[in-house]
Amino acid sequence: MVLPLLRRSLAGWGRIGLDLLYPPRCVFCRTDLPLAAERLVCPACQRRLTADRPRCPRCGTPGTADSCATCRRSPPPCAGLVVLGPYADDLRDLVLRAKRPAGDLIARGLASLLADSQRMTFRDWAVDLVVPVPMHWRRRLMRGTSSADELARGLAASLGLPCRRLLRRRRATRMQNELPVRERRGNVAGAFGPTFAAQAGRLRGRRVLLVDDVATTGSTLAACRDAAVSAGAAAVYAAVVARADRSDDALD
């Protein structure tokens, strides 16, 4: 009994010592945070980046589920979709920074904001597994990182859920933002599939949360949903940092 208490005390003093040498700072604006702060983001950045308008819980477009014109035109990509904010201004800049090899902390900060702002929704969905939207290996090699992977890991850690790379990109596709909206669904059709582990049953009966950085038409999310369902997923939901509310802002 004494030894565990002593270990916890030493760990606590160790964290305080590290904070004195290297004071914690907001991962976005580098403002100093309180010593031993558990959060990665300062209150000012949190307020600014989560001040979004109401959105449809099915497709993530501005509005409500009862009056969503987007859902009336076409079925949503997943059973539900949550968004931190619009792909514009500060959030757009942070999404782009998270795509760089040195952007892992930015991705973790965005994931923590997404988890905190949508925690009740994730609880209602009863998801039990977080899966990142996969990047083709050649693009990952060129970029040196995958922001979707980093976001998924951060979100899973914040929610206390496992994160597994159970989807793969079967073929390289053109960047979605290079194509007209009407061609995007065809561009990613059949581009994703379950990994060998998923085919062996790791997705069977699971309620999956797909994670990506940006959504526009939802074509990529819909293609990943199809791949997860083909491996036996019981339900597929999605979470993205930003939604490009105008087609000319599209990233993916």
The string of pLDDT tens digits covering residues 104-141 is: 999 999 999 999 999 999 999 999 999 999 998 888 88
Show the tokens assigned to 93.
């800049």
Pairing state between β 192-194 and 167-169: antiparallel
Q: What is the DSSP letter of 66?
A: G
| Residues 150, 104 share a domain | yes
The conformational region for residue 209 under phi > 0 = left, psi -120 to 50 = alpha, else beta, is beta
| Residues 5, 71 share a domain | no
Q: What is the pLDDT of residues 54-109, one digit of tens each?
A: 999 999 999 887 878 888 888 999 999 999 999 999 999 999 999 998 899 999 99
| Residues 97, 14 share a domain | no
CA dist 58 and 117 (Å) reads 16
Model pLDDT, residue 136? 86
What is the length of the chain?
A: 252
Model pLDDT, residue 11? 42
| Residues 194, 136 share a domain | yes
Model pLDDT, residue 22? 59
Handedness of CA 116, 80, 148, 29 (dihedral sign): negative
| Residues 24, 7 share a domain | yes
CA dist 50 and 84 (Å) reads 6
Q: Name the helix (H) or strand (E) containing 31.
A: none
| Residues 236, 173 share a domain | yes
Structural domain total, the chain: 2
Model pLDDT, residue 174? 63
Please determine, for residue 251, whether its predicted confidence score (pLDDT) is greater than 50: no
> What is the pTM (predicted TM-score) of this model?
0.85
Whole-Å CA distances, 52 to 183, 205, 247: 29, 33, 19
Handedness of CA 245, 96, 81, 216 (dihedral sign): positive
The boundaries of the domain holding residue 18 are 1-38
